[in-house]
A and B are shown apart, each in its own frame.
Chain A
Amino acid sequence: MTTRKPPAAGDGPRQSESQEATTISWQLKALLSALLAFHVTAVFWAPLMFASSGPQGTSPFAEAGMAVLRPYIGAMFLDHGYAFFAPDPGPSHLVRYQIEFADGRQPIVGRFPDLKTEQPRLLYHRHFMMAEALNNLYTPPQMPPEPSPPPLTATKAEQARYRAQRAAYRDDQQRFAYARRRYETMQTALAEHLKHRYGGSKVTLTRVEHRLGEPGEVRDGVRRLDDPDSYTDLPEVPPRGASR
């Protein structure tokens, strides 16, 4: 559609003046084709990587391609899954903060995002995204326990399974350290900013989940979207037996 020349007589190119813009050598076409194919592949690969991730890990094929394309994808800001409101629209995540003062002033308690103080809406959304990002980065402070060695009487198959679990655990340890460092970095950065902004001596951040309104509750007038019981504080250390 966009490639057709406009039909109006005066809009067409003057052959002599626009020659360079309308014709190029086959060598240049081949080079451009290779660059275009590479770029479009990179655009495709980032969401493919995201879509092909599951509880068992990521598709090895997608991982292999990503290993090659990652520098380009990272440099060009193409690393997105494009999963808007997917797989399901979920609850919102906010951050509540409490700032304490060394001089005995009353602590300040606030929450972001906050539409009352963050205007225009785009600025509010920036704060909202930071709160969501903190929650997405959350990694519990302790790794799940190491796999226990099998008894001395274990069969060869059981011993082999244990060795595989141990190897996987070492990989998990590295992933955990990386993920935890990212979470702690963001948490510290946000807390330090608030401490500096208000001149406080100590800042405590709490991730808060705001659950969505169920159709039945809203239809029957049982609950409003901002009812206090729809906000849940998320613990920094998950309760025993809980998994994230």
Chain B
Amino acid sequence: MNPLASAAKNWFAAVVRGWDRFWFTPAQPHTLALLRILGGGMILYTHLVWSINLEAFLGPQGWLPRGATAVLNQTAEGNIYAWSYLAWVDSPALVWPLHIAALIVLAMLVAGFWTRATSILAFVITLSYCHRLPMAMFGLDQINALLAMYLMVGRSGDVWSVDRWLATRKHAAPPIAPSIGTNIAIRLIQLHMCIIYLFGGIGKMKGVTWWDGTATWYSFSNLEYQSLDMLWTVHYPAVLSLLTHITVFWETFYCFLVWNKITRPICLALAVAVHGGIALFLGMKTFGLVMIIANMAFLSPEFVHATVALLCRPFAKLLARRDAVPLGPPRAAFLTNPSSTSRR
């Protein structure tokens, strides 16, 4: 065979193998289960906060009534693609039951109860609120929607869930097995995060203050965002500019550095530092936290499993002792090693 054709064939075969390995290698559910609990918890909290003034947002005389949202969701060509079941109701008599039902579904997702069904419903709920109140949304809602979208793809209820616990009680729990769906869900979260950071970095590169090193200062000096007074940093311009440069380079190159085993821990540590800073200093605890949660998609299931087991060890011992006679091993296993919950 002509060497060029041979090289092209080999390259193409390598691409196919790489694609196959990337998307279709089964993955254990622990990372996705953690994202279900933490990400689902954030989605639940987000919707819980709407309850404080639900009618002011979803009622007929709300900030953005249905008719206004329809206009705002319309494209220049007159089409509306942003669907929402809340676009059909605004009567408090209907809005409240729907909202309470939504909260119950989201709580069930966090607990991992009927996880398959509740993860799909959680996605429908999350998007419906986002599309119903587009002008009140921000980064938190984008990441909530991202997590809700991919949680329904994988088997996030296979561990650390009520589903698992119930199956174990009935001695009907299948072994904890890796699955392709779980891998696809994790891969999609990872890629989506890379795209977010890439464009976040590119956007900053268009600015002046991200280059001259003053962007961090200007972020700190925004009174409407500020939650902790960081104005004293004005006396340390070199530190402020260092933080600014790190942010830009980290965001832009995240999509490369996070895949490498050597640079991944640095990349994720910076994610915790940057988003932790946003949470603490810039008044966006929810956004900062949800970004850190989404970054956890890059943690391996082994690491997640080992860490959770370590953190839960005291509780597992407690439960094992209390239920030693009738339900000891299964309930303890709910919190500990997934292998021990397997049917032997």
A contacts, CB < 8 Å to B: 1-14, 17-18, 21-22, 24, 29, 32-33, 36, 39-40, 43-44, 47-48, 50-51, 70-77, 80-89, 91-92, 94, 113, 120-130, 133-134, 174-175, 178, 181-182, 185-186, 188-190, 192-193, 196-197, 210, 212-215, 218-219, 225-226
Q: B203 to A125, Cβ gap below 8 A?
A: no
A225 and B221 contact, Cβ closer than 8 Å, known pairs A2-B300, A123-B53, A213-B231: yes
Q: Using Cβ atoms and an 8 Å threshold, which residues of chain B touch A192?
A: 61, 65
Q: B209 to A89, Cβ gap below 8 A?
A: yes
Q: A219 to B200, Cβ gap below 8 A?
A: no
Q: A40 to B191, Cβ gap below 8 A?
A: yes
Per the 8 Å Cβ criterion, residues 47-74 of B in contact with A are: 49, 52-53, 56-57, 61-65, 68, 71-73
Q: How large is the interface on B (under 10, 10 to 19, 20 to 34, 35 or more residues)?
A: 35 or more
Closest Cβ of chain B to A181, distance in Å, is 7
Give the distance in Å from the alpha carbon of A215 to the alpha carbon of B232 in the complex.
10
Q: Using Cβ atoms and an 8 Å threshold, which residues of chain A touch B234?
A: 215, 218-219
Query: B94 in the interface, Cβ–Cβ < 8 Å?
Result: no
Q: B177 to A21, Cβ gap below 8 A?
A: yes
Q: B131 to A77, Cβ gap below 8 A?
A: yes
A11 and B176 contact, Cβ closer than 8 Å, known pairs A82-B203, A89-B209, A122-B49: yes
Q: A181 to B224, Cβ gap below 8 A?
A: no
Top 9 A-B pairs, shortest CB-CB distance: A10-B339, A74-B81, A86-B203, A87-B207, A18-B177, A83-B203, A47-B199, A21-B179, A213-B221
B200 nearest in chain A by CB position: A82
Stretch of B6-14, B20-28, B105-113 that contacts chain A = B20-28
Q: Using Cβ atoms and an 8 Å threshold, which residues of chain B touch A123?
A: 49, 52-53
Q: B26 to A29, Cβ gap below 8 A?
A: no
Q: B137 to A129, Cβ gap below 8 A?
A: yes
Identify which of B79, B180, B218 contacts A89 (C-beta below 8 A). B218
Closest Cβ of chain A to B236, distance in Å, is 11
Give the distance in Å from the alpha carbon of A3 to the alpha carbon of B79 in the complex.
40
Q: Using Cβ atoms and an 8 Å threshold, which residues of chain A touch B342?
A: 10, 14
A77 and B145 contact, Cβ closer than 8 Å, known pairs A51-B202, A181-B71: yes
Q: Using Cβ atoms and an 8 Å threshold, which residues of chain B touch A185?
A: 68, 71-72
A17 nearest in chain B by CB position: B174
Q: How many A-B residue pairs have CB under 8 A?
A: 278
Interface SS of chain B: helix
Give the distance in Å from the alpha carbon of A84 to the alpha carbon of B199 in the complex.
9
Q: List 24 A-B contacts (CB under 8 A).
A: A3-B22, A13-B175, A22-B179, A24-B180, A50-B203, A51-B202, A74-B75, A74-B82, A82-B195, A83-B204, A88-B215, A89-B215, A89-B219, A121-B283, A123-B53, A126-B133, A129-B137, A174-B76, A186-B68, A186-B72, A210-B223, A212-B218, A218-B221, A225-B223
Query: B92 in the interface, Cβ–Cβ < 8 Å?
Result: no
A32 and B184 contact, Cβ closer than 8 Å, known pairs A10-B337, A89-B218: yes
Q: B178 to A18, Cβ gap below 8 A?
A: yes
Q: B26 to A13, Cβ gap below 8 A?
A: yes
Identify which of B81, B206, B209 contacts A75 (C-beta below 8 A). B81
Give the distance in Å from the alpha carbon of A127 to the alpha carbon of B133 in the complex.
11
Closest Cβ of chain B to A46, distance in Å, is 9
Q: A130 to B63, Cβ gap below 8 A?
A: yes
Q: A129 to B136, Cβ gap below 8 A?
A: yes
In addition to A77-B145, A196-B61, 9 A-B residue pairs with Cβ atoms within 8 Å of each other are A4-B302, A10-B339, A50-B199, A73-B81, A74-B81, A88-B218, A181-B71, A186-B135, A219-B234
Give the distance in Å from the alpha carbon of A74 to the alpha carbon of B283 in the complex.
29
Mask for B271-311, Cβ within 8 A of A = 1, else 0? 00000000000011110000000000111111001000000
Q: A22 to B214, Cβ gap below 8 A?
A: no
Q: B49 to A120, Cβ gap below 8 A?
A: yes
Query: B91 in the interface, Cβ–Cβ < 8 Å?
Result: no
Give the distance in Å from the alpha carbon of A44 to the alpha carbon of B196 in the complex.
9
